[in-house]
Amino acid sequence: MLKKVLIANRGEIAVRIVRACAEMGIRSVAIYTEPDRYALHVKRADEAYSLGEDPLSGYLDPLRIVNLALETGCDAIHPGYGFLSENAEFARLCEQKGITFVGPKSSVIHKMGDKTQARDSMRAAGVPITPGSEGNLANLEEALALASEIGYPIMIKATSGGGGRGIRRCDSAQELTQQYPRVISEATKAFGSAEVFMEKCIVNPRHIEVQILADSQGNVVHLYERDCSIQRRNQKLIEIAPSPQLTPEQRNYIGGLAVKAAEAVGYENAGTVEFLLSGNQVYFMEMNTRVQVEHTITEQITGVDIVREQLRIASGLPLSYRQEDISYRGFALQFRINAEDPKNDFLPSFGRISHYYAPGGPGVRVDTAIYTGYEIPPFYDSMCLKLVVWALTWEEVVARGQRALDDMRLHGIKTTANYYKQILQHEDFRNASFNTSFVPEHPELLNYSDKKHPSEIALALAAAIAAHAGW
């Protein structure tokens, strides 16, 4: 079993990993840059070490992080998600230095991180993929010819892309001519590679992803699916497990495809296989070679501690479960409560949290690293917390989500919480009839009231009185 793990991340996922380590008797080591000096993951870990003043460079320096792990006696590094979590060179450096990387092998990260290689692997394994280019596009002329062949609309995507960046939909040759150089420019700046490929655009699909776990003994299981169709500009907002839109036959089929995909590339540790579902047709989209932001809802419906399993697998132990041991119960929703102003084109709203009260009650879980008085720095992702609710039925989980969002108090910044309340009230969402077009097709949901809650008014008055009295 691992003895000491350096967590190469920050925020709520770092806190989540610290908690798993504590339960397993593993010492945890946090890293931080100056803006995170007073962050919760720094306070909760057994040890914490500064990476300097620059907000980002420390978190993105593989050699420095690996050397720090060696200096502090760590036998493993958990990368969380984001930052270096899907960086094949980081994983390879860990392998070279004798540090266990809590994730798949570097060769697998490289293969599945390269979207064209991933498509080739899935094609060879018999996993259905969308029509598109067999490799990277050489130039605009090739792109125009292929688009004419497979038919518009099409998607131009960065081969090394992710997080909704380096991707454009084109509905005509004119749009493709305009967008092609833009995607190349964005891909080069964001991912250091100008390589792009083409896929047929599946119009208004459902976005379904399957959580898998695989150990070093060749055992692979799936933990059922999540529905991530409620998204904006390819960024997920609300996630659901399991999908209320799948039949049992579809569920078993997609779960089996995910296992086949993992076995085809020799996958190890936790991962997610993402699909697009159009009618009864399923298409492989990509594989995320890390723990996902939304792993929480899979844990809620299955009872499987995914981060614990990650650490066990990295220790060389077999999976705790066989496929026949895994079942699901009820439904879970996850709301990404972001520091953004939905009414102002979702612009970031960084700043000091003047008051935070976490929702509670039956079936409510909050994963966060914020607290009252915490200053949200402008250098990182805008997510403040992940609010997760669980209930036995779809109707009950929607009602519980509404109640939990009403319970929460987060003052001092703008957040997406009120917007999510509007989504939950929409008939299509309540009837579990939605796809990836839901958000753009319902701009009227942004017309909610900004009327302050009485508790917020009371807090403002208390602060004014305290200031006047010189407290």
Distance CA 217, CA 17 (A): 24
Task: Provide the 3-class DSSP secondary structure of residue 27.
Answer: strand
- Go through the domains of the chain in sequence order and give each one's CATH number: 4-86 (3.40.50.20), 131-200 (3.30.1490.20), 206-454 (3.30.470.20)
Task: Point out which residues pair with 165 in neighbouring strands.
Answer: 162
**pLDDT computed for residue 453 by the predictor:** 61
User: Rounded distance, CA 329 to CA 391, Å?
Assistant: 9
pLDDT at 467: 47
Quote the pLDDT of residue 461: 56
Residue with tokens 């593989």: 62
CB 140 within 8 A of CB 118: no
Tokens of 31: 């890293």
- Mean pLDDT of successive 10-residue segments in the chain (471 residues)? 98 98 98 97 98 97 98 98 97 98 98 92 95 93 97 93 82 97 92 92 97 98 98 95 97 98 98 96 96 98 98 98 98 98 96 97 98 96 97 98 98 97 98 97 93 60 53 51
In 263-346, beta strands by DSSP E: 269-278, 281-288, 331-338, 340-341
- In whole angstroms, what is the distance from residue 78 CA to residue 87 CA? 12
Q: At what angle do helices 62-71 and 88-97 cross, to 10 degrees?
A: 30
pLDDT tens digits, one per residue of 365-391: 999 999 999 999 999 999 999 999 999
CB 208 within 8 A of CB 194: no
**pLDDT for the residue 458:** 57
**Rounded Cα–Cα distance for residues 62 and 92 (Å):** 10
Asked about 290 being catalytic, the answer comes back as: yes
Structure confidence by residue, pLDDT tens digits, 118-154: 999 999 999 999 999 988 999 999 999 999 999 999 9
Catalytic residue among 206, 290, 365, 400, which?
Answer: 290
Look at strands 4-7 and 27-32 and give their pairing.
parallel
